[in-house]
Amino acid sequence: MFNKRITIKDLLASEQTNYQATVMGWVRTFRNNQFIALNDGSTNNNIQVVAELGKFDDNLLKRLTTGACIKATGEVIPSLGKGQKVELKADAIEILGDSDAEKFPLQPKKHSLEFLREVAHLRFRTNTFGAVFRVRHSLAFAIHKFFNDKGFVYLHTPIITASDAEGAGEMFRVTTLPVDGTAPKNDDGSINFKEDFFGRSTNLTVSGQLEGELAAMAFSNIYTFGPTFRAENSNTTRHLAEFWMIEPEVAFNDLEDNMNLAEEFIKYVIRHAMENNKEDLEFLAQRLEEEEKQKPQAERSELGLIDKLNFVVNNEFQRLTYTEAIDILRESNHNKKKKFQYLVDKWGVDLQSEHERYLVEKHFKKPVILTDYPAEIKAFYMRLNENCEPGRQTVAAMDILAPGIGEIVGGSQREERMERLLKRMEEMHIPAEELWWYLDTRRFGSCPHAGFGLGFERLVQFVTGMGNIRDVIPFPRYPKSAEF
């Protein structure tokens, strides 16, 4: 058996000394031809491996370069140096993999996040990305635990579908037909997808919700957690073409139950990360603080990362309707002084992220749940509200807006009434024949139900304080970029 190592995290955590141990990892730095800072990704902290002067061959010492992978065996002893309790006094050092110091792109210094994106295959070996992806893991685990403990069934919804769940038409096509112009055609010149692999036109899913609803009509509580795809040409710090989404769907829940579930869920997973990723979050908080210092005073956030997370888990989210939000925005000094790029003038307009951020960061200074949006600007499956003011038809929708992020959750109570759903689909040009299976749930034992979608990367951004969504997913997909 080769692998008899102790992880660096465990080694550093134990107070014990004077025993033999083996560690393996990647060299971060090698100082004074004597001190190796070694990291194996179990923690951001390095173990100091001491190669006593004169004990090792010069040829070996030369190969201890940044990035090299080594195995070191020796005695764990109390450390004289600052910042660590123990270190490893090496008896044997073996190079497992050399790293050419001239060519290795990561130097023992601070690199920009933009540069590190270009070497995303190696950026896991930096402190920032080590911390980010351990927190990401922890959040994913907490999500499964939260729903599992509540008796939800984890549903795997298809990645390839023939439907557009959001009706927004932002889909990546999936086909095996040739793209050189020789694909079979219909009489009218359009491509004949009957000849395609699935015998129809298919795309990558934008959401697992519709399939999720089918399963909720049997298990009562389900959730999905998988990749979703949007071909929107958005070059922002909040959008990816491939992102992960968590979509719970619950039979017998109304909009208020839905909001309660979402708020409890978000607080639970943040708390989990705070309890299980203390060191990583403290590191990220420090990183953010330094980054903030570069900004002009007015743009700096008032709270540090840990304080912000504490604030969110300990305070109730502000709940208000779209109509109330529009009134606040219209009356705001920001709007009157024309500081918004898109001025808020009339009821019915879609909210831009500048408006969402104003409400969250300037007005309420806490997460906000906006409800009851105009039907016009929301998806076909959302439940029509009763007794609306004339000309102001709303739906039982809810969006959760987070400080620094904007929309983190989108959800609604679903339209469970067949007649209304059909009418809505017709108005919005959603082909009912293609969604016959979705409509069947309204034919056979329909019931009130609700659900939401949480964008996983936006959650990871919020918890880690990372400014760009491209830095919280291992290999980001965005316009003009699909490297790695």
**Residue with Cβ nearer Mg ion (397 or 425):** 397
Query: Which of 49, 106, 240, 251 is close enough to bind ligand 4AD by CB under 6 A?
Result: 240
453, 456, 457, 460: CA torsion to nearest 10: 130
Residue 245 touches which of Mg ion, ligand 4AD, none (CB < 5 to 8 A by kind)?
Answer: ligand 4AD
Residue 230 touches which of Mg ion, ligand 4AD, none (CB < 5 to 8 A by kind)?
Answer: ligand 4AD
Position closest to Mg ion via CB: 410
Q: How far is the CB of 166 from ligand 4AD (least distance, A)?
A: 5
Structure tokens at 201: 């036109």
CA gyration radius, the chain: 27
Closest CA to 122 of 204, 36, 28: 28
**Residue with Cβ nearer ligand 4AD (130 or 410):** 410
User: In angstroms, how far is the first alpha carbon of the chain from the final one?
Assistant: 32
Q: How far is CA 248 from CA 64, 147, 397, 449, in A?
A: 49, 9, 15, 11
**Residue with Cβ nearer Mg ion (12 or 245):** 245
| Burial classification of residue 356, based on how many CB atoms lie within 10 Å of its CB (0-12 exposed, 13-18 middle, 19 or more buried) | buried
**Residue with Cβ nearer Mg ion (410 or 465):** 410
**Mask 388-417, x = binds ligand 4AD (CB under 6 A)?**
-------------------xxxxx------
Applying CB under 5 A, the residues found at the interface with Mg ion are 410
Q: How far is the CB of 226 from Mg ion (least distance, A)?
A: 18
Find out whether 361 and 403 touch, Cβ atoms under 8 Å: yes
Q: What is the 8-class DSSP label of residue 478?
A: B
Task: Tell whether the torsion through CA atoms of 120, 126, 128 and 133 is positive or negative.
Answer: positive
Residues 60-119 that bind ligand 4AD (CB under 6 A): none
Q: Is 209 in the site for ligand 4AD (CB under 6 A)?
A: yes
Distance of CA 479 to the CA centre of its chain: 18
Residue 457 touches which of Mg ion, ligand 4AD, none (CB < 5 to 8 A by kind)?
Answer: ligand 4AD
Query: Which of 136, 424, 442, 458 is close enough to bind ligand 4AD by CB under 6 A?
Result: 458
Q: Is 230 in the site for ligand 4AD (CB under 6 A)?
A: yes
Residue 207 touches which of ligand 4AD, Mg ion, none (CB < 5 to 8 A by kind)?
Answer: ligand 4AD
Q: Is 451 in the site for ligand 4AD (CB under 6 A)?
A: yes
Q: What is the 8-class DSSP label of residue 417?
A: -
DSSP string of 98-146?
Answer: ---TTT-S--SS---HHHHHHTTTTGGGSHHHHHHHHHHHHHHHHHHHH
User: At what angle are helices 278-293 and 305-314 packed, to 10 degrees?
Assistant: 120
Number of residues engaging ligand 4AD in binding (CB under 6 A): 22
DSSP string of 281-312?
Answer: HHHHHHHHHHHHHTS-GGGS-SS-HHHHHHHH
User: Residue 397: left (phi > 0), alpha (psi -120 to 50), or beta?
Assistant: beta
* DSSP three-state, residue 348: coil
- Interface segment toward ligand 4AD; rule CB under 6 A; list 242-250, 269-277, 342-350, 422-430: 242-250
**Residue with Cβ nearer ligand 4AD (209 or 277):** 209
**Residue with Cβ nearer ligand 4AD (46 or 412):** 412
Find out whether 438 and 208 touch, Cβ atoms under 8 Å: no
- Interface segment toward ligand 4AD; rule CB under 6 A; list 107-115, 130-138, 235-243, 342-350: 235-243
What letter represents residue 198's amino acid?
F
**Residue with Cβ nearer ligand 4AD (146 or 243):** 243
Query: Which of 452, 462, 464, 471 is close enough to bind ligand 4AD by CB under 6 A?
Result: 452
Residue 99 touches which of Mg ion, ligand 4AD, none (CB < 5 to 8 A by kind)?
Answer: none
Q: How far is the CB of 350 from ligand 4AD (least distance, A)?
A: 12
* DSSP three-state, residue 361: helix
Residue 411 touches which of Mg ion, ligand 4AD, none (CB < 5 to 8 A by kind)?
Answer: ligand 4AD
Query: Which of 74, 403, 453, 476 is close enough to bind ligand 4AD by CB under 6 A?
Result: 453
Task: Tell whether the torsion through CA atoms of 183, 186, 191 and 195 is positive or negative.
Answer: negative
**Residue with Cβ nearer Mg ion (130 or 410):** 410
**Residue with Cβ nearer ligand 4AD (164 or 196):** 164
Q: If residue 336 lies in a helix (H) or strand (E), which one and from where to where? A: helix 333-336
Angle at 44 between CA 41 and CA 45, to 5 degrees: 110
Query: Which of 166, 356, 415, 416 is close enough to bind ligand 4AD by CB under 6 A?
Result: 166
Q: Is 207 in the site for ligand 4AD (CB under 6 A)?
A: yes
Residue 351 touches which of Mg ion, ligand 4AD, none (CB < 5 to 8 A by kind)?
Answer: none
Q: Is 265 in the site for ligand 4AD (CB under 6 A)?
A: no
Angle at 10 between CA 6 and CA 15, to 5 degrees: 115
> Look-up: residue for tokens 């899913």?
205
Task: Please report, as ranges, the residues that interact with ligand 4AD according to CB under 6 A.
Answer: 165-166, 207, 209, 230, 232, 239-240, 243, 245, 247, 407-411, 451-453, 455, 457-458
